[in-house]
Structure 1
Amino acid sequence: MATPDRPGFALPLLLLAGFRTLIDDLHAELARQGHPELRPLHGFVLQAVGTAGTTASDLGHRLGVSKQAAGKTVDRLVALGYLERTDDPRDARRKLVRTTPRGLDGLRRSAVIFDDLRDRWCATLGADRVAALEDDLRRVTAADVFRLDVPGWFGT
């Protein structure tokens, strides 16, 4: 039950602040490890491209943005060396977007850093409390909670 000292609107703000803290700490460490140009949106894009690659149109759909918006982000990540465009071996009319070795390195480093950040939260809050928080969030969120269309969801 919401109370004056714990109003209902505070919960989503605290969850967002926790998310923001983790993402900001992740990107600070990625910068120290040689990936200073990666931004939060880039992580969603690299995850959406996946290991098999995708088209710009499919990427836009996965992210909940237009093909043009997806293409603009792909252009930026190609220029930074995280993605590449290649011919689709199944259809010469299509181009695939694929993750480069640099992009895979960024994803691998992100996974390790997230583990380290979780360990820091465990050191601060206690491993049992972090595990309980994760369990509780799983109970109150949908099974398909990991959706890549977060950038589109925040858009207009």
Structure 2
Amino acid sequence: MSTGDLPGLLALTFRAMMDQIHEQLAAEGFGDVRPAHGFAFQFLSHRGATAVELGDHLGVTKQAAVQLVDELVKRGYVQRQAHPTDRRSRIVTLTARGWQCIERVVEHSKQAEARWAELVGEERIGELRAALTGFVTDAAHYRQVTLRPVW
């Protein structure tokens, strides 16, 4: 990869950080969490959702989303509840264990950012954050930008 491949460098940075976070999570008792789960947790941290909504967000079929939810229910990260307006549907929400996992990811992300600030300086991290926010804002003019896996 050439140094001019900024999208690739951004992807590698994200991957390296997530690999490190997953190692830390495993050491803290969350060894059964996979990267795909993080995209579901991130979506569910804003609101409960049906399996169909979760599948739409993740870019997978309803069947794959139901399978993912089943897996997360068995592992204790999410629960199904009655839908408030649709008796045929169930809402998936995070459990206390799911929220604990999210809290650990947030803490580890803050630690990673602090390490980056030590490497390049607080000012440059602020500039990077502003620049990336500008890129995301620009992209959002063309289509909704969500945090989801690229399968």
| TM bucket normalised to smaller | 0.7 to 0.9
Does 2:21 correspond to 1:22?
no
Question: Is the contact between residue 26 and residue 32 of structure 2 (CA under 8 Å) also seen in structure 1?
Answer: yes
| Counterparts in 2 of 1:87 and 1:41: CA distance versus 1, 3 Å | same
Please give the alpha-carbon distance, in whole angstroms, between the structure 1 residues aligned to 2:55 and 2:61: 5
Q: Which residue identity lines up with residue 130 of structure 1 in the other structure? A: I
CA RMSD of aligned residues (A): 1.9
2:54 to 59, 80, 103: 59
- Number of equivalenced pairs: 146
TM-score by length of 1: 0.83
Pairing partner for 1:120 from 109, 115, 120:
115
Q: Is the 8 A contact 2:136 2:145 kept in 1?
A: no
- Verify: 1:76 aligned to 2:76, yes or no: no
Cα distance 1:46–1:6, how it changes in 2: closer, same or farther (>3 A)? closer
Query: What is the identity, as a one-letter code, of the residue corresponding to 1:147?
Result: T
- 1:67-146, aligned counterparts within 5 Å? 67-142=62-137, 144=140
Aligned-pair identity in percent equals 36
* Structure 2 residues not aligned, in runs of 5+: none
* Deviation readout 1:37-86 (Å, 9 max, x if unpaired): 11111111012123541110111112222211211111111111101112
CA 127–109 in structure 1, closer or farther in 2 if over 3 Å, else same = same
> Tell me, what secondary structure is at the counterpart of 2:82?
strand
User: What pairs with 1:26-37 in structure 2 (closer than 5 Å)?
Assistant: 26-37=21-32
Asked if 2 retains the 8 angstrom alpha-carbon contact of 1:51 and 1:98, the reply is: no
Residue pair 1:51, 1:99 contacting (<8 A) in 2 also = no
Please give the alpha-carbon distance, in whole angstroms, between the structure 1 residues aligned to 2:25 and 2:146. 23
- What is the TM-score of this pair, normalised by structure 2? 0.86
Distance in 1 (CA, whole Å) between partners of 2:145 and 2:24 is 23
* Farther off after superposition, 50-59 or 30-39: 50-59
Q: Does 1:147 align with 2:146?
A: yes
Does the Cα contact within 8 Å between 2:76 and 2:95 map onto a contact in 1?
A: yes
